[in-house]
A = this chain, B = another copy of it.
Amino acid sequence: MDEWRMKPIGHVRSPYTDAQQVPKGVGAQHAAEGTIEILPEFEPGLLDIEGFSHLLVLWVFHQADGFELVVTPPADTRPHGIFATRAPRRPNPIALTVVELLSREGCHLRVRGVDMLDNTPVLDIKPYTSSVPTEQLRRGWLQEAEDRQPRQ
């Protein structure tokens, strides 16, 4: 059986200690600042990371238990397939957040845009290098849900 074991390369220090505190749903803004603390043994892997304005952070939904294939996410009142959402109870509980890198001190990365809980395990960090132009994006049920529930 194919199986891979993943271990933390570090942890998130976040102002959120409870999932209820994290902004969710239509129009949620993620402007919270936090720190990604990389384990000292991995610090050489951060060489030159300061040159990137944005990072892709892969982390674990470590409080998720099991998975559901069809879910009703906070942004909608209708059910959707888990792979068409970012909901936490996934077959592999990996999450992805784009953060803005504010500064680095050794193995600590100060970032803006955290939506993780305090102490969340981080699996990987990659530089954000290119974007799909907004005019080429179709956003499916999320756009429809936003159209039905105009932002306050």
The residue in chain B whose Cβ has the minimal distance to the Cβ of A143 is B51
Q: Which of B38, B52, B82 contacts A140 (CB 8 A)?
A: B52
Would A54 and B132 count as touching, CB distance under 8 A? yes
Task: Bin the interface of chain A by size.
Answer: 35 or more
Interface of A is mostly: mixed
What are the residues of chain B within 8 A of A91 when measuring CB–CB? 7, 9, 42, 45, 124
Q: Are B92 and A47 in contact (CB under 8 A)?
A: no
Least CB distance from A7 to B in Å reads 5
- Which residues of A line the B interface, CB within 8 A? 1-9, 38, 42, 44-54, 56, 58, 60, 62, 69-70, 79-86, 90-94, 96, 98, 121, 123-134, 136-144
